[in-house]
């Protein structure tokens, strides 16, 4: 298993960097598979992930979106999110031998240069997946990620409290409402996050693993390269709180399960 370096001191640190947790060859194969998908969707031109993405986006931006779901259906994606070193690190951090990891909450992201409307604001993952409170996210870059390209940023906070959320529809570059929603922390809390925010520098094969109460964001990508990443969630399969609700987690984009569990934390909900 790759080495684990804690970003905060102590065995119960809420987030850790995982240096070399996955083989570079595996991540390269995943990137090559994504290139093959893009060519199958009509991308033309020289080899290289960014070049193929740029070509397809310029010719048919909507078609580029097809790569998201198609990539999640690939065999190499499954190997990445179920790699034994990654699962072992999750077991260690969660502290259980039996993990809960719904495939629905394993996602792929392409954050293109300059698309500020796709930035992910300050949030916690619990409202997004509603696993047990003792669960973690593994954030895995396919290409280098860090401060230069708006990579994942975490707030070093001393608390694991859940913050209120504003549930709003995503919108495209023109401000048009999309079909899915976000649950961001209200702006009045942001001043407390900024001074303690850090942006880990991650290479393919590295990862960041953090508890689902950790406040984090991934901002606008200023370039020069696009940012590609995989996220997978792991929780305690036998945690009493999740057993009592028969493993019901988030299925709907309306965040209904979270709203039922924590109605006091819904600061706003756009219908």
Q: What is the pLDDT of residues 113-162, one digit of tens each?
A: 877 666 689 999 999 999 999 999 999 999 999 998 889 999 999 888 99
Computed on alpha carbons and rounded to an integer, the radius of gyration of the chain in Å comes to 18
Hey, is 115 helix, strand or coil? coil
Strands 3-6 and 15-19: antiparallel
Q: What is the pTM of this model?
A: 0.92
Token pair for residue 17?
A: 């960097």
In the chain, alpha helices (H): 24-40, 49-59, 61-64, 66-72, 75-81, 84-94, 126-129, 240-244, 256-261
Cα separation, 108 vs 207, in Å, equals 14
Percentage of the chain lying above the pLDDT 70 cut: 94
Look at residue 40 and tell me whether its pLDDT is greater than 80: yes
Instruction: Name the segment(s) of the chain with CATH classification 2.60.120.620.
Output: 3-22+101-269
Distance CA 213, CA 32 (A): 33
Give the integer Cα–Cα distance in Å for 232 and 246: 21
Q: Sorting pLDDT into bands at 50, 70 and 90, what band is 271?
A: confident
Is residue 100 a contact partner of residue 247, using CB atoms and an 8 Å limit?
A: yes
What average pLDDT score do residues 158-180 get? 88
Two tokens at 12?
A: 């119960």
Contact 168, 267 (CB under 8 A): no
Instruction: List the CATH code of the domain at 3-22+101-269.
Output: 2.60.120.620
pLDDT score recorded for residue 2? 39
Q: Half-sphere exposure (CA, 13 Å, Cβ side) for 119?
A: 18
Structure tokens at 238: 């036998």
Contact 121, 253 (CB under 8 A): no
């Amino acid at each position: 298993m790759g080495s684990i370096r804690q970003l905060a001191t102590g065995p119960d640190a809420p987030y850790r960097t995982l240096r070399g947790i996955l083989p570079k060859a595996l991540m390269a194969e995943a990137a090559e598979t994504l290139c093959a998908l893009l060519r199958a969707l009509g991308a033309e031109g020289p080899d290289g992930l960014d070049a193929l993405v740029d070509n397809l986006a310029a010719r048919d931006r909507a078609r580029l979106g097809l790569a998201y779901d198609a990539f999640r259906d690939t065999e190499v994606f499954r190997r990445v999110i179920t790699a034994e070193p990654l699962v072992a690190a999750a077991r260690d951090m969660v502290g259980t031998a039996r993990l809960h990891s719904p495939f629905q909450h394993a996602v792929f992201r392409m954050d293109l240069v300059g698309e500020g409307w796709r930035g992910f604001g300050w949030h916690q993952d619990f409202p997004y997946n509603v696993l047990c409170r003792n669960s973690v996210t593994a954030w895995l870059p396919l290409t280098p990620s860090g401060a230069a390209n708006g990579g994942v940023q975490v707030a070093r906070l001393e608390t694991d409290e859940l913050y209120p959320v504003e549930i709003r529809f995503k919108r495209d570059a023109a401000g048009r409402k999309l079909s899915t929603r976000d649950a961001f922390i209200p702006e009045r809390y942001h001043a407390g996050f900024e001074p303690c925010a850090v942006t880990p520098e991650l290479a393919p094969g590295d990862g960041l693993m953090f508890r689902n109460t950790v406040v984090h964001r991934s901002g606008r990508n200023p370039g020069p390269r696009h940012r590609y990443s995989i996220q997978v969630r792991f929780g305690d399969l036998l945690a009493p709180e999740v057993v009592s609700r028969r493993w019901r987690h988030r299925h709907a984009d309306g965040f209904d399960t979270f709203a039922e569990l924590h109605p006091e934390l819904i600061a706003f909900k756009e219908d």
